[in-house]
Amino acid sequence: MNRGMSKNFHFGSAGFLIHRPFSIVLSILSVAVLLPVCIHSKETLTTAGVVREFNAPAEEVRQAVIAVVHDQIVHGTMIFDKEPVLTGAEAVDSTPLFDPWTGPGEVYYKIRKNAIAPRHFKDSADQGTIAVRYILVPVDADRTRVKVDAVYLEASHRVAHDSDGTVEKTELNEIKDHLEAMEEEAAAAADARRRQQSAELVRQSFLRQREDETSRLANAQSAEKDLEQQIKALHQELERRVKSPGADLKAAPFRSAATLQPLAASTNVLVLIVTSHWLGIETPEGQRGWLPLEALEPLP
């Protein structure tokens, strides 16, 4: 081969004779083909994420976050217009789509495999996996900060796409809704306890009132019984019986007074007036008069 030909041709690695300008073009095309692969070969992506602070203790926020992590939904995205909710997600302990978390707080993950070009992930295409990360950091006793990140990784090209923020905001809204639902449940439970306590107080008051009334009734019955016994004792003291063979009921405490009626022996009379020698009495028929003291005797 002459010197002029050696300036424009060279042998390739397989021994073929290649024109030098064509070799240069081929090299450029090779770089152009390889360049996108080099740029988009990253399989993990650190996103800006969205941060929100909740006015609630860490334990309450943790319950809300765990509920959202396990709800099997990636909120704020979809893969088909006719299916506005992207279901089929699962909670996982970790995912290679995010670098291991070494910062403060607690971290939770949720992934959805086989998602086809999901909405709200920048330039998403093909089929791949969505990963959502939740980072929970207590601020103080009554405030808790939550950061949410979301990424999408194409399965075939291994190209990662970060979210435009819609997924993160929607997931945080779900956490807020769970917190509000928990607060409403707690308020309803507290209200139920108050109503139950109020009902219990009313019941106890009613029981005390009934016990008081029962006690008053028992006291009244006892007093009535005592009064009956006193009346009976008083009657026994005031009642007398006419001695045999009987006596005449006088109109006045004098033997010479007019006789109102004769009283047979053993007739019970009620003593109304007591004098030294005469007793003013009343018969069972209501006739009043006087009898000599010695004409009467106590009841047996």
> Following DSSP, what letter does each residue of 141-197 receive, concatenated?
TTEEEEEEEEEEEETTT--EEEB-SHHHHHHHHHHHHHHHHHHHHHHHHHHHHHHHH
User: Residue 279: helix, strand or coil by DSSP?
Assistant: strand
Dump pLDDT digits (tens) for 110-165.
999 999 999 999 888 899 999 999 999 999 999 999 999 999 999 988 999 999 99
The pLDDT, as a whole number, for residue 28 is 37
Q: Is the peptide bond before 245 cis (omega within 30 degrees of 0)?
A: yes
Answer whether residue 16 shows pLDDT above 90: no
Asked if 161 and 62 count as a contact pair (C-beta separation under 8 A), the reply is no
- How far apart CA 40 and CA 68 sit, in angstroms, is 31
Lowest mean pLDDT of 26-40, 104-118, 143-157, 183-197, name the range. 26-40
Give the model confidence (pLDDT) of 201-215 as tens digits: 999 999 999 999 999
Q: If 0-12 CB within 10 Å is exposed, 13-18 middle and 19+ buried, where does residue 51 land? A: middle
Look-up: residue for tokens 């070799």?
Answer: 23
User: What's the pLDDT band for 278 if we cut at 50, 70, 90?
Assistant: very high
Residue 233's pLDDT band (boundaries 50, 70, 90)? confident
Model pLDDT for residues 251-273, shown as the tens digit of each residue: 999 999 999 999 999 999 999 99
Mean pLDDT for 182-190 is 92
SS3 223: helix
Give pLDDT tens digits for 43-77: 445 567 999 999 999 999 999 999 999 999 999 99
Q: How confident is the model at residue 22 (pLDDT cuts 50, 70, 90)?
A: very low
> What pLDDT shows up at residue 46?
53
pLDDT of residue 45: 52
Q: How many CA atoms lie within 13 A of 225 on its CB side?
A: 6
Q: Quick one: tokens of 262?
A: 């004769």
Average pLDDT over residues 274-296: 94
Using CA atoms, how far apart are residues 54 and 27, in angstroms rounded to an integer? 56
Answer yes or no: is pLDDT of 36 > 80.
no
| DSSP assignment letter at 243 | P
Q: What pLDDT score was predicted for residue 166?
A: 94
Burial class (CB in 10 A: 0-12, 13-18, 19+), 75: buried
Provide, rounded to the nearest whole percent, the portion of the chain with pLDDT above 70.
84
Residues 259/249, Cβ–Cβ less than 8 Å: yes
Residue 24 has pLDDT above 50, yes or no: no
How far, in Å, are 95, 242, 255 from residue 245 at the CA level? 124, 8, 17
